[in-house]
């Protein structure tokens, strides 16, 4: 999504990416979202429980959401449908003004400047692979 920003993971390890991206593996991806108006408790409840997306004819999985300010919240998804957060907000009558991915599984943006890139540490790579193997075990 060109209008989004934040953490990107680039790899040539197809099995690793497949494991991270498959919705059936329930890998968490965390975002900070700013919307066009104040967030009320009804919106938070709706997002947490799952939102019906008419265009995709699907209800999103329940997620973790926390209000950060009047118009900003964090959300942790385990699904990853195309433009999911934007679609969820639109279904609730809000428009996304800013969307930033801050974590993919055990990886975070912590300490990384805007536009910067770096290689994963061995520890990060092991943690990511372990998470993929653990979640993917027995789910064929």
**4, 100 in Cβ contact below 8 A?**
yes
Whether 40 sits among the annotated catalytic residues: the reply is no
Cα separation values, 85 from 19, 26, 109, 135, Å? 21, 16, 19, 23
Q: How far apart are alpha carbons 2 and 67 in whole angstroms?
A: 25
46 Cβ contact list (under 8 Å, min separation 6): 92
Instruction: Count Cβ atoms within 10 A of the Cβ of residue 48 and give its class: 0-12 exposed, 13-18 middle, 19 or more buried.
Output: middle
Catalytic residue chosen out of the listed positions 1, 13, 15, 18: 1
Active site residues: 1
């Amino acid at each position: 999504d060109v209008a989004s920003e934040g953490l990107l993971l680039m790899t040539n390890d197809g099995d690793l990416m497949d494991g991270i991206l498959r919705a059936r593996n329930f890998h968490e991806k965390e975002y900070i979202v700013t919307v066009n108006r104040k967030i009320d408790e009804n919106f938070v409840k709706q997002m947490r429980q799952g939102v019906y997306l008419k265009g995709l004819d699907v209800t999103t999985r329940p997620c973790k959401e926390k209000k950060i300010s009047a118009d900003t919240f964090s959300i942790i998804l385990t699904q990853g449908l195309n433009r999911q957060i934007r679609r969820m907000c639109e279904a609730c009558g809000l428009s996304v003004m800013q969307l930033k991915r801050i974590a993919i599984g055990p990886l975070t943006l912590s300490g990384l400047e805007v536009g910067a890139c770096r290689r994963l540490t061995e520890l990060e790579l092991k943690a990511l692979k372990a998470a993929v193997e653990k979640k993917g075990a027995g789910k064929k």
